[in-house]
Amino acid sequence: MFLRRFATSAIVLTALAGWAEAAVPHNWQLGLQPAVTPVMAQIEDFHRLLLYVITAICLFVAALLVWVMLRYNSRANPVPSKVHHNTILEVVWTGVPVIILVLIAIPSFKLLFFEADIPTPDLTVQVIGRQWYWTYAFPKDGNFQFDSNMLTDAAAKKAGEPRLLGVDNPLVVPVNKVVEVVTTASDVIHSWAVPAFGVKMDAIPGHLNHTWFKATRLGTYYGQCSELCGANHAFMPIEVKVVPQAEYDAWLKAAKKKYADIDGAVRVAAK
């Protein structure tokens, strides 16, 4: 009864938390940001599954502890048992955790392979981490690149952007398209992470890492550098606008012209 009530309130809390959230973190937020990509949806499911498993295990261990304290304290049980070995019990308490871990490993590996297996991309974006901003390059779509810097508090307020998350030049991608993300860095290791996409990929100098996302909902999504990279690590946010294809095409056309003169290391890295 208690367990069922606990599970119900956990589900209600999770649902409420999901309902109340937008694409930015909130005070008193419970749970993850709502999933916007198939990968994040699966991460959410896996996260929920693990939450139920660990809740059950914690309750079971706590109940055992309470039972031992009440039943076998010196007053309730003045003559202690001399039993020091029980083969069946040892086999069970070794075997059951092994079975639980193997059962958890199956969906875990499925998810890992789903993330690692990049579908045929509709577009490729190269993400270059720098101290302390991001450069986005489109090596296949016109070979241009631009820098994305955090807005100051005043500029963010004026633009209606969230503080410490809004940037001057956000990355723009079309909705429902597979975006291949190739990460690298020009100085130290950074990490490009957008929670709503379920994406977190290290950006390492002299190395190309690949990942992908397919955003299925329009909107603006935020993330942050997730690898400690120096003094301004906390001030190189990520902003991605997911827009309809037509809007993306218009942005791409304008961006090619706007950023045509900007040159950089991308040509070397892109080929």
User: Which of 206, 208, 193 has the alpha carbon at shortest distance from 134?
Assistant: 193
Distances (CA, A) of 143 to 127, 240, 248, 271: 13, 19, 16, 11
> With CB under 5 A as the contact rule, which of the stretches 12-20, 170-178, 183-191, 210-218 interacts with Cu ion?
183-191
Residues that contact Cu ion, how many (by CB under 5 A): 4
Q: Closest approach of Cβ 188 to Cu ion, in Å?
A: 8
**Closest to Cu ion by CB, 36 or 225:** 225
- Do 132 and 230 contact (CB within 8 A), yes or no? yes
- B/e letters for 185-195, b = 16+ CB within 10 Å, e = fewer, are bbebebbbbbb
Contacting Cu ion (CB under 5 A), which of 133, 151, 174, 190? 190
DSSP strand pairing (171-174 vs 238-243): parallel
Binding mask 2-31 for Cu ion (x = CB under 5 A): ------------------------------
- Among the listed residues 171, 172, 225, 238, the single contact to Cu ion using CB under 5 A: 225
**Minimum distance, C-beta of residue 167 to Cu ion, in the bound complex (Å):** 14
Q: By the 8 A CB rule, do 23 and 222 touch?
A: yes
165 counts as binding Cu ion under rule CB under 5 A = no
Q: Which stretch binds Cu ion (CB under 5 A): 29-37, 53-61, 89-97, 222-230?
A: 222-230
Shortest Cβ 88–Cu ion spacing (Å): 53
Q: Mark residue 228 as left, alpha or beta (left: phi above 0; alpha: psi -120 to 50; beta: remaining).
A: beta
Nearer to Cu ion, 229 or 242 (CB): 229
- Give the C-alpha separation, 171 to 257, whole Å: 16
By DSSP bridging, strand 123-130 and strand 179-185 are parallel
Lookup result for tokens 């045929």: 120
For Cu ion, the closer of residues 225 and 238 by Cβ is 225
| Given 127, 172, 201, 229, the residue binding Cu ion (CB under 5 A) | 229
Q: Which of 233, 252, 264, 265 binds Cu ion (CB under 5 A)?
A: 233
**Residue 47, helix vs strand vs coil:** helix
Report, in Å, the least distance between residue 148 CB and Cu ion.
13
CB of 220 to Cu ion, least distance (A): 21
Q: Which is nearer to Cu ion, 34 or 237 (CB)?
A: 237
Q: What is the identity of the amino acid at 222?
A: Y
Q: Tell whether omega for the bond before 132 is within 30 degrees of 0, i.e. cis.
A: yes
Q: Which is nearer to Cu ion, 229 or 266 (CB)?
A: 229
Q: Which residues bind Cu ion (CB under 5 A)?
A: 190, 225, 229, 233
